[in-house]
Amino acid sequence: MNGTKETYQLIADTISKTLPAKRLISRLESFSNWEELVMVGSQQLLLPLLYRSLEQKGLIKNLPDDLADYLNQIHHINLNRNKAILHQLRDLHALFEKHHIDYVLIKGAAILVRLREEDLGLRMVGDIDLLIPSGQITQAQSILETHGYELGKSFSYKRKNFRHLDRLVHEQFIAALEIHTKLFNQKNHLLPAGALLKESQAICGFRVPKTEHLIKNALLSAQINDNAGLYKQIHLKSLADCLQMGLHTDTSLFRQVLKIKETRFLLGVGVFFFDDFKNMGMSGDLKKELKSIELKFRYPSLSKELYKIKRIYWETTHRIKIFAINADYRRHVLKNKIFPIFN
């Protein structure tokens, strides 16, 4: 974790939907570590949203002039990129419609198509993530390759039971594609792909998950796939997505997702930093998470050491497991890592 508690708090206050303007103004006036704000905001992929939030609240003038200009440029670049991604999404939609391929946009792409035109620049989107029924996955990949997509950079070995196929890229389009058959590498019972496909809805002509499923995926994705829950990493972007989709206005849904163990640390971060979530409900497990978050900022050096230990342990056990069950990975390790001299 990089950054102080004060920096994370200012980011949360800035993108909050409910924080009174006077409190945000006071926070901006007393804050001085703008370089750290840019660093953390960049790591969290939130710089365009920070700019748009301050712009909507009429508070850009409360930033140093050079920072306001920089954030404006970042927002403008991201806006143009998102417009290009929307063009690419329309092309993909027409292609899948022509060949009767069922699909659902997930993650950033699904959020992007829900945004108002004036807000198109606030969400950073990397790859285009698509969920396709497993029975159509081979056909879909073949159609995409015929359409000009080709394999991008990939792993040096074949992955088994991974949540998506290898990335596909197209020289005429800006974003890479990740074609999913499931949402997570494990614990897919928490949000089955079949449910997203069956209960999807049309927005602006695109197929997207219903709001409840989008929120659950935002909460669970990094916690499971990137081990953010294990490492106790703070992902404000996931919470920003939940705010964008209105979780702070749905107490019933908040309490429902709070019952899922894998969401509790991230929801704890939400309650810790965001006024929007403070009155949504509390549980004993959530109180424990709040204490762990406070300790994380009080003892940052210890927190970093614990992170290193957890990461080394997980990476080691994970690699041993893959070595045991994946013959292609074993060949890769033996050929390229252990005996590279004979290559």
Would you write out the chain's pLDDT as a tens digit for each of its 343 residues? 578 999 999 999 999 999 999 999 999 999 999 999 999 999 999 999 999 999 999 999 999 999 999 999 999 999 999 999 999 999 999 999 999 999 999 999 999 999 999 999 999 999 999 999 999 999 999 999 999 999 887 666 566 667 888 899 999 999 999 999 999 988 999 999 999 999 999 999 999 999 999 999 999 998 898 888 878 889 999 999 999 999 999 999 999 999 999 999 999 999 999 999 998 877 778 889 999 999 999 998 888 888 888 888 778 887 787 777 777 767 766 666 665 554 5
Burial class (CB in 10 A: 0-12, 13-18, 19+), 189: exposed
Q: DSSP state, 167?
A: P
Q: DSSP state, 336?
A: I
Question: For position 61, what pLDDT does the model report?
Answer: 96
What's the number of CA atoms in the CB half-sphere (13 Å) around residue 150? 3
Question: For position 58, what pLDDT does the model report?
Answer: 96
The Cα 12–Cα 32 span in angstroms is 16
Q: DSSP 3-state assignment of 186?
A: coil
Question: For position 332, what pLDDT does the model report?
Answer: 67
Q: What is the 3-state secondary structure (H, E, C) of 24-36?
A: HHHHHHHCCCHHH
Joined tokens for residue 176: 């890479």
User: 192: closest CA among 179, 182, 206, 204?
Assistant: 182
Q: What is the 3-state secondary structure (H, E, C) of 50-86?
A: HHHHHHHCCCHHHCCHHHHHHHHHHHHHHHHHHHHHH
| Strands (E) located in the chain | 104-106, 128-131, 150-151, 168-169, 177-180, 201-203, 206-208
Question: pTM of the entire structure?
Answer: 0.88
* b (16+ CB within 10 A) / e for 221-259: bbbbeebbbbbbbbbbbbbbbbbbbebbebeebbeebbe
Contact 146, 130 (CB under 8 A): no
How far is C-alpha 114 from the geometric centre of its chain's CA atoms? 16
Count, residues in the chain: 343
Q: DSSP state, 133?
A: -
User: 27: closest CA among 17, 38, 19?
Assistant: 19
Question: For position 155, what pLDDT does the model report?
Answer: 62
Contact 323, 329 (CB under 8 A): yes
- What's the Cα-to-Cα distance from 332 to each of 163, 167, 322, 337, rounded to whole Å? 21, 20, 11, 7
Find the farthest-apart pair of alpha carbons in the chain and give their distance in angstroms, rounded: 68
User: 216: closest CA among 99, 95, 88, 106?
Assistant: 106
